[in-house]
Amino acid sequence: MADMFVKQAKQYAEARPNYPEELFKFIASKTPKHELAWDVGTGSGQAAASLAPIYKNVIATDTSPKQLEFAIKLPNIRYQLTPPTMSITELEQNVATQSSVDLVTIATALHWFDLPQFYKQVKWVLKKPNGVIAAWTYYWPKINEFVDAVFKSFHSVDYEPFREPQPKLVENKYMSIDFPFEPVDGVDNTGPFDQFVLEKLMDLDDYLTFIQSSSGYQTAKNRGVELLTDNMMEKFNVAWNSDGQSKKVARFPLYLRIGKVEN
């Protein structure tokens, strides 16, 4: 996964939307204490930066040094490069001691993980009882009927052959992803919950940069295929400018899984 995002790390940091404040308020309301949060697969640190005002300390880890170069720097965030797999000893050295973490977050990355191994680590570091894990993802942005129609054709014909299998869990809104945790207080299941929406003001260049920051685009590029051909760019250009507005609000539906550990 790390190698896939190295080449477009700067694009990823610039193109990805910020998560809504309401998301973090909801998650934080489910953790009894706000001392330490671990943001896994932090990338360029969007989630870590939103956790920093709420939690006393945030440890944000990623396997990609290039991604961490562009991460948002704040005094109470410690960024840590980690190997793709860690022993318990390495986990304790790089992240935290046993039963010391209030919250583990995974923003748009859980579908890339070795879940059985990762969940063992989560259950080891989370405080017991009631340590919380929250994982969320979002799908492609909705713009308007004209742009969305061009994208639908592009995605199903041009992009589809280069999709990795993991993002199909995103397409399924994390409904089918393994999530072996108990519901947090106030809800009767672990989700996915869909009451949160990301919004980002974009022009056409921003929108195309978002596409270029995706795993499928990078896979195609590594195989010598340019998905955004001149013909495809012209189709997007015509659709984008059909309403005479150069900037548009892109809306990203967000899907949250949240649970807690028992004793």
Residues 151-179: tens digit of each pLDDT? 999 999 999 999 877 667 787 889 999 99
* Band (15; pLDDT cuts 50, 70, 90): low
pLDDT exceeds 60 at position 1 = no
Residue 14 has pLDDT above 70, yes or no: no
Does pLDDT of 130 surpass 80? yes
- Count Cβ atoms below 10 Å from residue 129 Cβ, excluding itself: 12
Residue 187 has pLDDT above 90, yes or no: yes
What pLDDT is stored for residue 194 in this prediction? 92
Mean pLDDT of 52-74: 94
What's the confidence (pLDDT) of residue 16?
60
pTM > 0.95: no
C-alpha pair distances (Å), 131 with each of 14, 70, 245: 32, 29, 46
Q: Which CATH superfamily is domain 1-141+167-198+252-261 in?
A: Vaccinia Virus protein VP39 (3.40.50.150)
Q: Which amino acid is at 113?
A: F
Q: Which of 37, 87, 92, 83 is nearest to 64 (CA)?
A: 83
Which tokens go with 14?
A: 């610039």
Evaluate if residue 8 carries a pLDDT over 80.
no
